[in-house]
């Protein structure tokens, strides 16, 4: 979205009152009667009970439900499912079609579980505690549960200054603030991603870390909610859910007492493991809202090549559309024949192409607009509250309708539109999909009684401001390369409890589809609003699969809910070209990749809105090389910021991409591991050093994969950074020198110019690195490996390499290699199913302080000419130049 559009509607929202959020007295709520547990029955891993109102109803935001049903299930030895529902009413629950539920092991014994459920009957409260230590992890004691038609409240006490991570999407610190803090979940078009507000996506999961262990709590609820965290003097931290509908559906995850990443793997068992993405998607992506015509797009591709900056994928924002209508191209500015020429050129040069697709479809009855006509014929639009006419909004093309993803016919419609418009034979053969505005966003101010008038007032669709190019302009001439829920008695437009929605006036329906908009299955947006982006993601993923059966998809979305990462990746939305937004991006990617299982994530490098500077863009290019999804993207009202525009930024980008490409197989292997079991691909420092309290709040450094510590410069005009090094050996990625701070501590890293970034290898890692210099990922896969061994303090190291064809969902062949270093011997073993097709050029042993007496490969002494020892750096190089087709050993004495 452009700054121009944002000034029309989004900035107004930033001036309105967060004060619309309901302010309630916690003491008054704690005085409510709560419930008594009756008819408690336990059978194997399952406990059930009736919860009966224990006294005079509070009726805080409506009548208290008099009787509830409790179900507690030990689903695995590490997971407890606690569900509280109203047995007399078919209340909304997140449909299994959107978030499939995990299978439970019916043979689990509560006595063998690592966490246990405990309760009191009168008044009813429950707690979850760690079996090994009896430490309470979650407890509602002294805080009665409140369960009303449009208000649910659950509150737990936690330790003082609790270490809470998650509950996103947000741009606050990675460790949640605990002083009178509210995290709101209600998807909105959040231009400028302001801190302390609700943003695009919703993930009601948090990890809590203590030195005694890490656990997780997941509330499966897609209704709007405020989650309030507050430190109370002398009584620790409280965390309180205030939800405006649905049911209480909790998963408690035991995590681990020693390894914080175990809770991430357990969460993956609930929401699904992340999708594997194509190998090529880890290259550099370039986009801009504001490329005026096909000549602009072609020139960017040419200029990246001329600047020797590896460009993998060219993207085009909504500029290419005719009057901002999806599944069209502007015949004057982006004629189909010239766009196909660009796509063909990219594919010929082993590069790729991605286009934007929004959910809003222009409302053009009788005007021959195929996407609208076909959708109308299939009757797949989201309906107004009357259930017959389509719900109308105002978005880029003017008045619009919205696909109803719950309609059984919508997937076929969406797949067909992708098949027709993105046809390799007659349309634009895209390699990935980009979906935006899917909160869903509407520019219509509430109450939107006349979307046609609002569209006229906002000049939608916006007129072109430049003349079209000559359609024959030469390009590339010099290129180098559910169930129905009764809401009849509910106020779904203005619920009695008002969450802190920051959109427009704060009304739930402002800037989005109305909360009373009706889906084909009888559900309304009041309940399902937070699912819209994820459902569009699923439909788009399926449409891309239909285009290229058997191949992995790259779909990048803006709005997400729990489980979205099983199908799509994400970018962090409309940030600004500001230093604090560069800094916030680290917290954002750690949340998505490290907690929510959406690892293919990145922020708009150099900033989306406002004008970047050479210094900011250079620093951001370096950080962006360690986003899993690396894309430069900015707005039509900002200056151009392609990396080649400044010599310093161009060099920074070349240097950063050189590091990224050398590490590409390392991070590709990490993604495969994440897809296998949910192990995070990005890690905050405390994931690796859970006993070191100094790491708990650090979100200006992070681990890229398991072992690459990134410590960027994040302040303007700074040339140094105070980086924290935990109690382990670390090796500078550039010169391989060792740093060790006994017990852990901060180290001042100085003289960091604009084209470098501090990167270190954590001791204990074996890295399979590529040679540098490739301009595409296709070329990269033809370069040799070098193996770098960075010993831990105990003298050992390990690593892995996964390799396949890079595109298939189920590859016909795979190569899986393990590396182990112990007693000065590297052992390489594996199953070499998919040909690597390259050599191992050399092996590099770090922290070797003296020249070896001898070096052997597979037990045979190698010639001295193949050995080089740098005494100052402590690096021993052994040249191999042997085909990487089998395992081997290298040892030195």
Kindly write down the DSSP assignment for every residue of 350-400, as one continuous string: T-EEEEEE-S-EE--TTTT-HHHHHHHHHT-BPBPTTSSSBP-EEETTEEE
State in words which class domain 11-271 has.
mainly beta
Same CATH fold assignment for domains 11-271 and 696-892: yes
Q: What is the pLDDT of residue 482?
A: 52
Spatial separation of the C-alpha atoms in residues 594 and 165, rounded to whole Å: 10
Q: What is the pLDDT of residue 10?
A: 39
Q: What is the pLDDT of residue 11?
A: 38
Residue 727 has pLDDT above 60, yes or no: yes
Name the most confidently modeled range: 220-234, 322-336, 473-487: 322-336
> What confidence category does residue 24 fall into, taking pLDDT thresholds of 50, 70 and 90?
confident
Q: What is the pLDDT of residue 18?
A: 40
The ranges assigned to domains in the chain are: 11-271, 696-892
Spatial separation of the C-alpha atoms in residues 562 and 555, rounded to whole Å: 16
What is each CA distance from 458 to 4, 395, 451, in whole angstroms?
10, 10, 10
Residue 124 has pLDDT above 90, yes or no: yes
Q: Which residues contact 465 (CB under 8 A, 6 or more apart)?
A: none
pLDDT in tens, 318-348: 999 999 999 999 999 999 999 999 999 999 9
Region 39-51: mean pLDDT is: 97
Spatial separation of the C-alpha atoms in residues 326 and 427, rounded to whole Å: 13
Which H/E stretch holds residue 528? Answer: helix 525-528
Residue 240 has pLDDT above 70, yes or no: yes
Spatial separation of the C-alpha atoms in residues 682 and 702, rounded to whole Å: 7
Share of the chain above pLDDT 90, in %: 94
C-alpha 186: how far from chain center: 17
Share of the chain above pLDDT 70, in %: 97
Residue 14 has pLDDT above 80, yes or no: no
Region 721-747: mean pLDDT is: 97
> What confidence category does residue 23 fall into, taking pLDDT thresholds of 50, 70 and 90?
confident
CA dihedral (281, 286, 289, 294) positive or negative = negative
- pTM of the full predicted structure? 0.96
Which residues are part of the catalytic machinery? 436, 439, 574
Spatial separation of the C-alpha atoms in residues 324 and 278, rounded to whole Å: 29
Q: What is the pLDDT of residue 151?
A: 98
Q: Which residues contact 203 (CB under 8 A, 6 or more apart)?
A: 166, 167, 168, 169, 560, 561, 562, 591, 595, 596
Region 774-788: mean pLDDT is: 98
pLDDT in tens, 675-715: 999 999 999 999 999 999 999 999 999 999 999 999 999 99
In order, the DSSP letters of 287-325 are --TT--SHHHHHHHHHHHHHTT----EEEE-GGGSBTTB
Among 7-21, 446-460, 672-686, the range scoring the smallest mean pLDDT is 7-21
CATH topology classification for 696-892: Immunoglobulin-like (2.60.40)
Q: What is the pLDDT of residue 479?
A: 42
pLDDT in tens, 156-207: 999 999 999 999 999 999 999 999 999 999 999 999 999 999 999 999 999 9
Q: φ and ψ at 433, to 5 degrees?
A: -125, 145
Ranges of H-type helices in 760-856: 777-780
Residue 538 has pLDDT above 90, yes or no: yes
pLDDT, averaged across the chain:
95
pLDDT in tens, 796-811: 999 999 999 999 999 9
CB 326 within 8 A of CB 400: no
> What confidence category does residue 817 fall into, taking pLDDT thresholds of 50, 70 and 90?
very high
pLDDT in tens, 302-313: 999 999 999 999
Region 870-887: mean pLDDT is: 97
CB 246 within 8 A of CB 527: yes
Judged by phi (left if over 0) then psi (alpha if -120 to 50, else beta), residue 771 lies in beta
Burial of 28 (0-12, 13-18, 19+ CB in 10 A): exposed
């Amino acid at each position: 979205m452009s700054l121009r559009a944002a000034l029309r509607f989004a900035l107004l929202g930033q001036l309105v009152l967060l004060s619309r959020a309901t302010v309630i007295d916690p003491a008054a709520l704690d005085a409510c009667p709560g419930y008594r547990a009756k008819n408690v029955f336990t059978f194997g891993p399952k406990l059930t009970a009736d919860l009966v109102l224990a006294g005079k109803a509070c009726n805080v935001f409506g009548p208290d439900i008099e009787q509830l049903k409790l179900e507690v299930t030990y689903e695995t030895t590490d997971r407890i499912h606690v569900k509280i529902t109203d047995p007399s009413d078919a209340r909304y629950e997140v449909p299994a079609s959107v978030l499939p539920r995990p299978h439970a092991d019916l043979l689990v014994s509560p006595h063998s579980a690592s966490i246990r459920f405990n309760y009191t009957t009168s008044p009813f409260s429950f707690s979850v505690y760690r079996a090994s230590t009896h430490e309470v992890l979650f407890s509602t004691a002294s805080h009665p549960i409140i369960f009303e038609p449009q208000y649910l409240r659950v509150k737990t006490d936690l330790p003082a200054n609790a270490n809470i991570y998650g509950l996103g999407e947000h741009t606050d610190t990675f460790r949640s603030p605990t002083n009178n803090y509210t995290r709101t979940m209600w998807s909105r078009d959040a231009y400028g991603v302001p801190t302390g507000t609700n943003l695009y996506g919703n993930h009601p999961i948090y990890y809590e870390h203590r030195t005694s262990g890490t656990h997780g709590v997941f509330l499966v609820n897609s209704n709007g909610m405020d989650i309030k965290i507050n430190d109370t003097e002398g009584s620790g931290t409280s965390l309180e859910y205030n939800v405006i509908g649905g049911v209480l559906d909790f998963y408690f995850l035991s995590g681990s007492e020693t390894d914080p990443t175990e809770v991430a793997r357990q969460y993956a068992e609930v929401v699904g493991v992340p999708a594997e993405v194509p190998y090529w998607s880890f290259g550099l992506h370039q986009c801009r809202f504001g490329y005026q015509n096909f000549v602009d797009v072609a020139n960017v591709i040419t200029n990246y090549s001329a600047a020797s900056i590896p460009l993998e994928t060219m993207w085009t924002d909504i500029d290419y559309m005719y009057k901002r209508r999806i599944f069209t191209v502007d015949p004057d500015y982006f004629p189909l024949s010239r766009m196909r020429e660009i796509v063909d050129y990219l594919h010929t040069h082993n590069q790729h192409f991605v286009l934007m697709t929004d959910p809003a479809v222009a409302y053009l009855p009788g005007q021959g607009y195929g996407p609208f006509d076909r959708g109308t014929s299939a009757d797949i639009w989201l309906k107004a509250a009357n259930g017959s006419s389509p719900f109308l909004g105002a978005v880029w093309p003017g008045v619009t309708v919205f696909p109803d993803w719950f309609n059984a016919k919508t997937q076929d419609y969406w797949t067909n539109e992708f098949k027709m418009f993105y046809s390799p034979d007659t349309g634009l053969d895209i390699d990935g999909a980009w979906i935006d505005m899917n909160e869903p966003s509407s520019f219509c101010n509430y109450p939107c009684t006349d979307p046609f008038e609002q569209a006229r007032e906002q000049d939608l669709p916006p007129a072109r401001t430049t003349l079209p190019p000559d359609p024959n302009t030469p390009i590339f001439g010099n290129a180098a390369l559910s169930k129905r829920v009764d809401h009849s008695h509910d106020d779904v437009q203005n619920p009695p409890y008002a969450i802190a929605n920051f959109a427009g006036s704060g009304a739930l329906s402002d800037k989005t589809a109305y909360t009373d908009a009706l889906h084909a299955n009888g559900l309304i947006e009041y309940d399902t609003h937070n699912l819209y982006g994820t459902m569009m993601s699923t439909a788009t993923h399926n449409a891309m699969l239909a285009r290229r059966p058997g191949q992995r998809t790259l779909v990048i979305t803006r709005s997400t809910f729990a489980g979205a990462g099983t199908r799509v990746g994400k970018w962090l939305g409309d940030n600004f070209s500001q230093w604090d937004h560069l800094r916030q991006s680290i917290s954002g990617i750690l949340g998505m990749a490290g907690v929510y299982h959406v690892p293919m994530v990145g922020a708009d490098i150099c900033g989306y809105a406002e004008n970047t500077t050479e210094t900011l863009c250079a620093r951001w290019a370096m950080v962006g090389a360690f986003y899993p999804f690396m894309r430069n993207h900015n707005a039509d009202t900002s200056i151009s910021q392609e990396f080649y525009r400044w010599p310093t930024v161009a060099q920074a980008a070349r240097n950063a991409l050189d590091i990224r490409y050398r590490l590409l197989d390392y991070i590709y292997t990490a993604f495969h591991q994440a897809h296998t079991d949910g192990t995070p691909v990005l890690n905050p420092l405390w994931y690796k050093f859970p006993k070191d309290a100094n790491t708990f709040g650090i979100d200006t450094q992070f681990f890229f994969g398991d072992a690459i510590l990134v410590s960027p410069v994040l302040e303007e005009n700074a040339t140094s950074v105070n980086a924290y090094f935990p109690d382990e050996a670390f090796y500078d990625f550039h010169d391989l020198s060792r740093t060790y701070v006994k017990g852990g501590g901060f180290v001042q890293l100085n003289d960091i110019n604009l084209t470098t970034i501090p990167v270190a290898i954590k001791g204990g890692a074996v890295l399979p690195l590529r040679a540098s210099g490739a301009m595409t990922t296709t070329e990269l896969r033809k370069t040799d490996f070098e193996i770098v061994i960075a010993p831990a303090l105990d003298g050992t190291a390990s690593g892995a390499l996964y390799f396949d064809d890079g595109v298939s969902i189920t590859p016909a062949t795979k190569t899986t290699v393990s590396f182990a270093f112990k007693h000065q011997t590297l052992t390489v073993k594996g199953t070499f199913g998919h040909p690597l097709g390259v050599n191992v050029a050399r092996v590099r042993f770090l922290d070797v302080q003296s020249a070896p007496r001898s070096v052997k490969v597979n037990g045979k002494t190698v010639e001295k000419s193949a050995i080089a020892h740098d005494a100052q750096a402590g690096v021993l190089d052994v040249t191999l130049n042997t085909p990487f087709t089998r395992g081997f050993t290298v040892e030195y004495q």
